[in-house]
Amino acid sequence: MLHMVILRHSPESCPGRPGNEAIHPCANAMQEFLDNAGVKTIGRWADPPAHVNYLVLEAPDGHVIQEALMESGLFAYTTAEIRPVMSMD
């Protein structure tokens, strides 16, 4: 099942802001946790001025994705929406 994950962070918690380097290991670890959970990454996009990241992931359900976000520690810096989606092709 495909899921659109929308990750938002505030300007204050932006990974590009000096002093916020603590988020980098979390963001880097997220892919490892997704891989370990058997989640396939279909695509990833960033909108830096809006402080939003978009991911399309293939996973059995949203709970698996949520667990990976929590285990990576990324949830401490972002809010996430996980929505099941389907191709319109």
pLDDT, position 89:
81
pLDDT in tens, 12-68: 989 899 998 989 999 889 999 999 999 999 999 999 999 999 999 999 999 999 999
Among candidate residues 79, 81, 83, the one with its CA nearest the CA of residue 9? 79
pTM: 0.89
For the chain, give every domain's residue range.
Answer: 2-83
HSE-up (13 A, CA, CB side) for residue 43: 6
Q: How many helices (H) does the chain have, and how many strands (E)?
A: 2, 4
Which tokens go with 83? Answer: 């929505």
CATH architecture of the domain with range 2-83: 2-Layer Sandwich (3.30)
Q: Tell me the CA distances in angstroms from 25 to 52, 60, 64, 66, one per residue in order.
A: 18, 26, 20, 18
